[in-house]
Amino acid sequence: MQQCILLFGFRCFDLNLLDMSILRNEIKNNLTYLKNEIEHIFEGGRDTVLSEVTVGQVYGGMRGLTALVCNTSYVDPYSGLHIGDFTVEDLSEKYPEEIFYLLCTGKLPESDFLEEFRKEMNERSGVPQYTWDVLKALPEDTHPMSMLSLGILTMEQESVFKRNYLKGIPKSDFWKYTFEDALNVIAKLPELAAGIYRIRFGDGTLIKRDPDLDWAGNLAMMLGLPNSGKELARLMRLYLVLHCDHEGGNVSAFTSRVVNSALSSLYYAISAGLNGLAGPLHGLANQNCLKFILEIRHRFGDLVSEEEIALYIKETLDSGKVIPGYGHAVLRVTDPRFTAFMKFGKAYCSENVCFQIAEKLFKVVPDILKTYKGGKVASPWPNVDAASGALLFKYGLNQFDFYTVLFGVSRILGFCAQNILAQGLGQPIIRPKSVTNKWVADQLMKNKVNH
């Protein structure tokens, strides 16, 4: 365990001792590998054209434009999320702590890592009192995502990166201090998220962390739910694993990376990423899926049939609405993360009505979407959100606005890993070129003349 000292009221860790940690050394090794890989790629043709951009992409949010490199994860249209060389099926029984190691290093840790990481988190845990004072002073109806983003921001003054950058450090060391900030934030997340739930939806009493529990286990316990127990802890581990990262181009990860590329500290970058995640087109999908399931239950009762669900689906589509939880920007198969949630549901709550409706939707919806209006739906298959909300609801998390907080806690693992690696690789500030409507119109005119 590294030595801890207090400096100006902040908890600081001796970087020389921390350098001996397995995770830190493995990140070093991964950065060396990635740098060599990039050099080899550049030797093969630094000016080689990789992607062409259309007018539609310029105006359509750059969707489908290959313009980023993300070395933590990627999504294959037919096999889903990959982290390193591992698929969701490989990782669904792992702990979030192990996934953070994998995101940073490209490989899974040895068996003793979990115990060491638990000790590390205990050393670094403890949300400052001033953060609680700020959160408790907010209006009672403040959205939990606003509270999470603000909670992270209040702790920005504790950034190890910022403090050392102001002293003057070489660019090659930026990643080390970003790593320090990452560990400090991750250690406080279960307490912060659970505390937000207790303040916003409970009586405001905070539950102390248990130093003997793992990261997700502490989050589940500190929520103080009546159904809290081993099953909820298992679900929380699975949820935090499945949502941890999803390439670099989604709104939240990309926003976090852009902010950190300006050398704004990881606290600023995480808060910014969370603000993007809070949008209804990004992080609200699982609660919308659950609302849809509850609407079906309210209309047809607990014993709703597949035929009744099919009728409701067609009515929904005919009214111009989409089916929540079905379709994906990249995937062209059932999301393996959905499959992992369904496997959990069958093992632990197969008698739950909301889960049963989610099962029946899976049997009915894809076949309808395949043929609806000539089968124009590119992806009729369920994504991760089609099942997760029903499972959270079963275990007593009936405050829908909190679901995105859990998504954010998980996705912060990806924010941290992506920015650690980016700083270690010396990636520059992100600054794409923008143009005006006139420029685009002129280009189109030139193309017509030339052809």
Active-site residues, by number, are: 282, 328, 385
- The first and second tokens of residue 417, run together, are 């890993």
Q: From its phi and psi, is residue 84 left (phi > 0), alpha (psi between -120 and 50) or beta?
A: left
CB–CB of 306/364 below 8 Å? yes
C-alpha to C-alpha distances, 108 to 26, 97, 229, nearest whole angstrom: 10, 10, 27
Residue 101's contacts (CB-CB under 8 Å, 6 or more residues apart) are 23, 26, 107, 108, 109, 113, 117
Cα-to-chain-centroid distance, residue 249 = 12
SS3 for 209?
A: coil
| Percentages (nearest 5) of helix, strand, coil residues in the chain | 60, 5, 35
Residue 26's contacts (CB-CB under 8 Å, 6 or more residues apart) are 101, 104, 105, 107, 109
SS3 per residue for 276-337: HHCCCCCCCHHHHHHHHHHHHHHHHCCCCCHHHHHHHHHHHHHCCCCCCCECCCCCCCCCHH
C-alpha to C-alpha distances, 5 to 11, 14, 222, nearest whole angstrom: 6, 8, 28
Which residues partner with 10 through β-bridges?
Answer: 7
What would you measure as the largest C-alpha separation in the chain, in angstroms?
Answer: 72
Q: How far is Cα 155 from Cα 174, in angstroms, rounded to an integer? A: 19
φ/ψ (deg, to 5) at 411:
-65, -25
- The first and second tokens of residue 287, run together, are 């609660």
Strand arrangement, sheet containing 86-87 = 73-76, 80-83, 86-87
